[in-house]
């Protein structure tokens, strides 16, 4: 996996296309849905893999994810409205499914979450237990 950079603030991320791993911390259990699937997510850290190909690129997409009070449009909005998002790892040269594959050792708590149109991935949401994380997430902080 190519190196990733961690951005605490969306405003510092580039306005170019790319993929990201958004970190979301839940302090309380959350009943979440993805299509017909539903689960109660335990408090803890979650990683959501997504892509930003539209206007404003990574800066715009991460800005939306990290903003409060938005209209719920995507599965991830359930978590970003209920929890805290302290930042995201970004890469300009990998896709979201490549990021999910690199994190394959982590559990997927809700099938179809963020991946309802993805034939390759079971879920784009992963649970990140306390302890040592995947090595490629040890990236520079911006």
The tens digit of pLDDT for each residue in 93-120 reads 899 999 999 998 999 999 999 887 788 8
Domain count within the chain:
1
Indicate whether 97 belongs to any domain: yes
Indicate whether 135 belongs to any domain: no
Contacts (Cβ under 8 Å, ≥6 apart) of 43: 26, 27, 28, 29
Indicate whether 141 belongs to any domain: no
Structure tokens at 64: 């939306």
Indicate whether 81 belongs to any domain: yes
Indicate whether 57 belongs to any domain: yes
Indicate whether 36 belongs to any domain: yes
User: Residue 4, exposed/middle/buried by CB under 10 A (0-12, 13-18, 19+)?
Assistant: buried
Indicate whether 137 belongs to any domain: no
The tens digit of pLDDT for each residue in 16-47 reads 999 999 999 999 999 999 988 999 999 999 99
Q: What is the residue range of 28's domain?
A: 5-129
Indicate whether 142 belongs to any domain: no
DSSP string of 27-77?
Answer: SS-EEEEETTEEEEEPSEEEEEEEEE-STTHHHHHHHHHH-SSPPP-STHH
């Amino acid at each position: 996996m190519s190196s990733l950079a961690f951005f605490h603030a969306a405003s510092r991320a580039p306005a170019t296309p790319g993929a990201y791993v958004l970190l979301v911390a839940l302090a309380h259990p959350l009943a979440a849905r993805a299509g017909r699937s539903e689960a109660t997510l335990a408090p803890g850290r979650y990683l959501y893999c997504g892509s930003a190909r539209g206007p404003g690129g990574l800066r715009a997409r991460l800005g939306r994810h990290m903003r409060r009070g938005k209209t719920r449009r995507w599965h991830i909005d359930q978590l970003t409205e209920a929890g805290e998002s302290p930042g995201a790892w970004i890469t300009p040269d990998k896709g979201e499914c490549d990021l999910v594959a690199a994190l394959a050792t982590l559990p997927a708590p809700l099938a179809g979450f963020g991946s309802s149109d993805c034939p390759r991935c079971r879920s784009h949401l992963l649970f990140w237990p306390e302890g040592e994380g995947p090595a490629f997430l040890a990236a520079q902080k911006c």
